[in-house]
């Protein structure tokens, strides 16, 4: 069975049908640029164009860069403020004519990684996945069950929002060396370790492909591994979430 998975990003909106039994894409991923300012109606129209590309009329899920409760956006850290209070599921459903389920984008990536990635064999204890990009997204799992909307990228480090010091966006903005950034990211992970004492950190997002550049600077008691699904995780997790919700 295939379900449409959508990943709403700051620069692009990507989608493809996903075989939820295997986690594999059932086609070629299609990407459109995220509209300037990323306001609700404009984003919804772009999502509709992605589904139209596949002539899709069935179940769909989307990973969205905000805390989501009952389909409604509660935050807007890296998107337009008019999203706060918007029922994203209803908006996308009306724009596409498809049943839509929406969750936090890092939670979507985490669900995929725990089902088909390195977390598959780690269903006991506490696992934290961190998606490292423009910001820091987090997904927290306890005995394989998701604790949604943790938003732990915003914990305070030295008086600043954690992602403003330790995200890949911060690394690029400040032109940090891998050693300098690795030290700041290690400080962030150390704070997370002291708060949650997880059994495993999973590092995802685009920067994970450069893990050999910064992993030597991570000095933690917790095991740290890189994600297996990389940038495919958000799309896969969104499709899995929609399937789970439709069966509930």
Separation CA 145–CA 210 (nearest Å): 29
Q: Are 164 and 73 in contact (CB under 8 A)?
A: no
- 106-124 pLDDT per residue, tens: 999 999 999 999 999 999 9
Q: Residue 43: which of 72, 69, 17, 9 has the closest Cα?
A: 9
Query: What are the structure tokens assigned to 58, written together?
Result: 């069935």
- 148-202 pLDDT per residue, tens: 999 999 999 999 999 999 999 999 999 999 999 999 999 999 999 999 999 999 9
- Give the bridge partners for 91, in sequence order: none
pTM of the model: 0.94
- 33-42 pLDDT per residue, tens: 999 989 999 9
């Amino acid at each position: 069975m295939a379900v449409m998975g959508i990943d709403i990003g700051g620069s692009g909106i990507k989608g493809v049908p996903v075989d939820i039994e295997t986690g594999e894409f059932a086609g070629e991923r299609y990407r459109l640029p995220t509209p300037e300012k990323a306001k609700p109606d404009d984003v919804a129209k772009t999502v509709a164009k992605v589904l139209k590309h596949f002539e899709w009329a069935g179940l769909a899920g989307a990973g969205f860069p905000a805390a989501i409760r009952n389909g409604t956006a509660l935050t807007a850290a890296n998107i337009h403020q008019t999203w706060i209070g918007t029922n994203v599921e209803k908006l996308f459903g009306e724009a596409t004519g498809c049943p839509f389920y929406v969750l936090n984008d890092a939670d979507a990536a985490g669900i995929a990684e725990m089902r088909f990635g390195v977390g598959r064999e780690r269903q006991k204890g506490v696992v934290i996945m961190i998606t490292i990009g423009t910001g820091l997204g987090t997904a927290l799992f306890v005995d394989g069950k998701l604790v949604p909307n943790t938003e732990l990228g915003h914990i305070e480090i030295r008086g600043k929002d954690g992602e403003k010091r330790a995200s890949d966006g911060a690394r690029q903005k400040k032109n940090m060396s891998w050693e300098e950034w690795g030290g700041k990211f290690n400080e962030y992970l150390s704070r997370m370790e002291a708060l949650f004492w997880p059994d495993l950190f999973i590092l995802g997002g685009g920067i994970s492909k450069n893990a050999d550049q910064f992993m030597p600077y991570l000095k933690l008691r917790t095991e740290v591994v890189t994600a297996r699904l990389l940038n495919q995780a958000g799309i896969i997790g969104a499709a899995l979430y929609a399937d789970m919700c439709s069966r509930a």
